[in-house]
Amino acid sequence: MAAHRRTPIFAALTAALLAAGCATVTPYQPMQNGQGYGDQRIESNRYRVNFAGNSTTPRETVENYLLFRAAELTLQQGYDYFVMSGTDTEAQTRYQQTVSAFGGYGWYSRYYGLGTGVSTAYPVTEYQAQAYVTMYKGKRPDTAADAFDARQVRDNLGPLIKYPEKR
């Protein structure tokens, strides 16, 4: 196969490999490049906590990571249970276009030309969740249906958490 015929195939394979390399769920980590968790102390026992995922991170995962971060932060600050308020999950959708490369050949296999074109557009959605977390010491009151035991949340959601790969 002539080198000029392999160029479009090589370009398509390279693009596919690059896209596959980006297709992983956002790991549970401090905010980097707009993805991960963040928190801001508001009062001595109150924080604003958020988690932002990439386009391959499902809404449920973003919300689980937010809840896990609230539990983790509660324990780190020396508290036992927490109440979340003002919880909000936003979907940010943009449209991505795919680009196709093509080439044609003239008579007797002479190179004719190379072109590109936009073939389709598809939605790409990223989720971001935020909540205010108020932390308390002691046993969670049985009557407080909106309160979470931080240790139980950590233990139950812990197996679902995907951490960054070690390099």
Per domain, the residue ranges of the chain are: 3-160
More confident site: 122 or 159: 159
Q: What is the mean pLDDT of the chain?
A: 85
**In the predicted model, what is the mean pLDDT of residues 31-58?**
97
Residue 134: which of 50, 39, 48, 38 has the closest Cα? 48
Q: Tell how strand 81-105 and strand 147-149 pair up.
A: antiparallel
Within 10 angstroms of residue 107's Cβ, the number of other Cβ atoms is 6
73: Cβ contacts below 8 Å, ≥ 6 apart = 39, 47, 49, 133, 135
- What pLDDT, in 10s, does the model give residues 94-107? 887 777 666 665 55
* Percentage of residues in the chain having pLDDT higher than 90: 63
Q: What is the dihedral of CA 74, 75, 76, 82, to 10 degrees?
A: 10
Predicted structure pTM score: 0.74
